[in-house]
Amino acid sequence: MGKKLLMKGNEALAEAAIRAGVKGYFGYPITPQSELLEYMATNLDSRGGVFVQAESEVAAINMVYGASGTGVRVMTSTSSPGFSLMQEGISYMACAELPCLLVNVVRGGPGLGTIQPSQGDYFQAVKGGGHGDYKLIVLAPNSVQEMADFVYLGFDLTDKYRNPVLILTDGALGQMMESVEFPEYNPEEHLVDHSSWTTVGRENGREQHYITSLHLLSEKMEEINIHLQDKYKTIQKNETRFESIMTEDADILIVAFGLSSRSSQKALELAREQGLKVGILRPITLFPFPSDELKRLANSVKGILVVEMNAGQMVEDVRLSVGSNIPVDFYGRMGGMIPQPDEIVQKIKDLSKQVKI
Amino acid sequence: MNEELIVAGFGGQGVLSMGMTLAYAGMVEDKYVAWIPSYGPEMRGGTANCTVIVSDTNVSSPIISSYDTAIVLNQPSLEKFEPKVKPGGILIYESNNVLNPPTRKDIDIYAIPAAIEAAKLGNKKTMNMIILGAFLAKRPLVSVKSIMEGLSKVLPERNHHLLPVNKKALKHGMELIK
Amino acid sequence: METTREGIVCNNLDQMDVVFDRTEVLHDTPTSYCPGCSHSVVHRLIMEVIDELGILENTIGVAPVGCSVFAYHFMNVDMQQAAHGRATAVATGIKRVLPDKIVFSYQGDGDLAAIGTAETIHTINRGENIVMIFINNGIYGMTGGQMAPTTLEGDVTSTTPHGRDVHIQGHAIKITEMIAIMDGAYYVTRQAVNSAKTVRKCKKAIKQAFQYQIDGKGGTSYVEVVSNCPSGWKMTPIEANKKIDEEVLGYYPLGDLKTPPKGA
């Protein structure tokens, strides 16, 4: 590990990406992710990559598409309205199996919404987002350190599976400062040989490579879909990640990701002080979702409380995972509001009463 | 040690940089730190506040509902955060910017006329360092040396000639509260 | 005794000089374009230019949505298929990470001058050192003959059944004229392929555009090709080529709109 630095989450994302060998960054300004864009503008050109400020998020994601087709590490970052605009391009990339790292520093919506933090983009992050059947690998950091760590992980995963990887974070994690250490990481040791499919010119007269997501024959298009679904199953099997906090003796299980998992952690401390046995399951990958671990924990806890910064999105995946045998309660704040630890403690108490603890 | 602190005031009063300096100083001393801002709708003149946590152990949440210490630099911030100080906690306020002083009896309250004191030092912008000095006199979380190291990170290099006057302000603040 | 396709009787084909052949840079496959369509001609011209300039091993093409979406089935170069309107954004991405490669886009009027107008303008505004080939046939061929941004006033399409009324549907857009005034544009020309003479001139212009990119002197090289769409226009190829001369070129006159400064 290197030296400890105090950085904003957005800056840590950018610095980690440069250290991970990103060769192209294409983006468009939008609050609250602009620090990432600005960091790239200041630093990337002198550290081995190119920075382009695109004319729109639509152009940015298509620049990523083009650059990715040459086999180098590429990325973009945006915030919710911009992420909505990028969906078409992301769908194309998922189908054409182009690697890239996407960052969505989520803000409150719908519409122009607010510039304050939110988790309202859960659905469009984990359910595909654009048209057609596809999945992104979605990583949800909950600290500035993880913002950095997941950039390296994200590039490794996107190269390994030839599938876009999304870091889903929010305005508060993007803007807050914590200490961060960048691990030793030599991109050369992690690069995957993509030369069998990249479009860089027919070197030495080799056969043509082309990148497309268009297959007018339905039989062919179904074949591609089956291949993609098989890939997602492999990812589900190999890449599911989560963190368990004091779950083994817990009566009440909180399920929360990203920033709301931090509020929940404080709530856990406060609740434990009052004798309530609370644990947390924090999904780190939102796709693949840790359904099996949830199913296992549902056998030992008496009630589940899902805490999110939205109207209740991940709670649907929790309910799908555990079925109807256990009460699943939800607490959410919206529009840029963050669930406060004391509010969560109150919900824990309410749920405890309901399940007669 | 785990100090959870809110700094609040108008944009332009040095609220965010005061918090950031403290966070840097904490990191210099190998403590766990977090700094999280919240802006008003305008970059200057609107309300601005930041939460700072300096701890010997990992910071569970940067989002907190109540504070060990509130440092408030204007009336709206006082009204918002006085009720959120934990019983036994500290409230420090800039008395030139507050018409109706705080009323709670279960916390320690200190009024610092930092704006006037800063003007006396010849640089009104050192107001935030005077307040920070006063806070550190009550809660010696980090050393003056670490604060200065932090400030040298927060201040752009072109303003490093202001480091000595800021140090003077910091020490002045420490004496004011005694 | 053998008979050639042209019906000329000759004694021994093997001993004849080959005066015309398909470039190897074109796939040996029938195109899916309609008979008489300009696309086939322009495809051939670009591939011949790539062959003649010896840049096959360095060239990457981008074809977005439109009739030419399957261009990679005919152009035997590395290619990327782009979303509708985004060809030059994709080309920008390629060129920026591989600045030594040769990158071209091949776009229709709907792509370049309607849905992709922002990308078109900003790619050229950045002066991306790429070649843009613009096939302007004044109609949406792929989707079945709807109005294009370049459909002429009065022309009947499936979405202008009473003819394009400029008060309702706006004017045929003069995007090439707009591009020609931009600082980022290096070479802007309008060509056609409706006669042997215009085909020859068009090839020269395309070759010039690629040469400018190779020279890397900066700026975007842009070739508009006023094209036909016999199926969309509901005409025979001969009638369609005649319409170009009689109607289209009056509104979209041929020639260079911007050339590099002398000595550049």
Q: Is the CB of residue C78 less than 8 Å from the CB of residue A200? A: yes
The rounded radius of gyration (Å) of the Cα atoms in chain A is 21
Same domain? A53 vs A120: yes
Chain B residues whose CB is inside 8 A of the A341 CB are 61, 63-65
User: Which H or E element spans position A274?
Assistant: none
pLDDT for the residue B11: 84
The rounded radius of gyration (Å) of the Cα atoms in chain B is 15
Mutation pick from C98, C105, C120 vs chain A, by most beta carbons of A within 10 Å, is C98
Close Cβ partners of B164 (under 8 Å, ≥ 6 residues apart): none
- Domain at C33-258, CATH homologous superfamily: Thiamin diphosphate (ThDP)-binding fold, Pyr/PP domains (3.40.50.970)
Residue C1 confidence class, pLDDT cut points 50, 70, 90: very low
Same domain? A223 vs A262: no
The domains of chain C are located at 33-258
What mean pLDDT do residues C147-176 have?
97
Q: How many domains does chain A have?
A: 2
pLDDT for the residue B44: 52
CA distance C248 to A257: 60
Mutation pick from C23, C92, C124 vs chain A, by most beta carbons of A within 10 Å, is C92
The domains of chain B are located at 2-176
CA distance A336 to A171: 9
pTM summary value: 0.94
Candidate from B24, B36, B59 with C-beta closest to A6: B24
Same domain? A153 vs A254: no
Domain edge (last residue) among A197, A218, A239: A239
What are residue C75's DSSP bridge partners?
A: C26
Do C94 and A52 lie within an 8 Å CB cutoff? no
What is the complex's ipTM, to 2 decimals? Answer: 0.95
What mean pLDDT do residues C227-255 have?
97
Q: Among B127, B167, B136, which residue's Cα sits nearest to residue B151?
A: B167
Same domain? A250 vs A344: yes
pLDDT in tens, A169-217: 999 999 999 999 999 999 999 999 999 999 999 999 999 999 999 998 9
pLDDT for the residue B128: 96
Range of the domain at A280: 243-354
Q: Is domain B2-176 given the CATH code 3.10.310.10 in the classification?
A: no
Candidate from A56, A67, A208 with C-beta closest to C78: A208
Mean pLDDT of chain B: 93
Q: Is the CB of residue C242 less than 8 Å from the CB of residue C152? A: no
Q: Among C198, C221, C225, C226, which residue's Cα sits nearest to residue C209?
A: C221
Same domain? A129 vs A62: yes
C9-41 as b/e: b if 16+ CB within 10 A: eeeeeeeeeeeeeebebbbeeebebbebbbbbb
Same domain? A332 vs A291: yes
What mean pLDDT do residues C168-182 have?
98
CA distance A55 to A27: 9
What are residue C222's DSSP bridge partners?
A: C132, C188
Same domain? A183 vs A271: no
Interface chains of chain C (3 or more CB pairs under 8 Å): A
Do A263 and B36 lie within an 8 Å CB cutoff? no
Domain edge (last residue) among A239, A254, A279: A239
Q: Which residue has the tokens 């509130």?
A: B70
User: Which H or E element spans position A93?
Assistant: helix A80-96
B131-157 as b/e: b if 16+ CB within 10 A: bbbbbbbebebbeeebbbbbbebbbee
The CATH number given to whatever domain includes residue A141 is 3.40.50.970
The list of chain A residues with pLDDT below 70 reads: 1-2
E strands, A228-288, where?
A: 242-245, 252-255, 278-283, 285-287
What mean pLDDT do residues C79-92 have?
98
CA distance A343 to B6: 19
Same domain? A336 vs A323: yes
pLDDT for the residue B42: 47
**CB atoms inside a 10 Å sphere around CB A139:** 28
HSE-up (13 A, CA, CB side) for residue C96: 34
Domain edge (last residue) among A188, A204, A239: A239
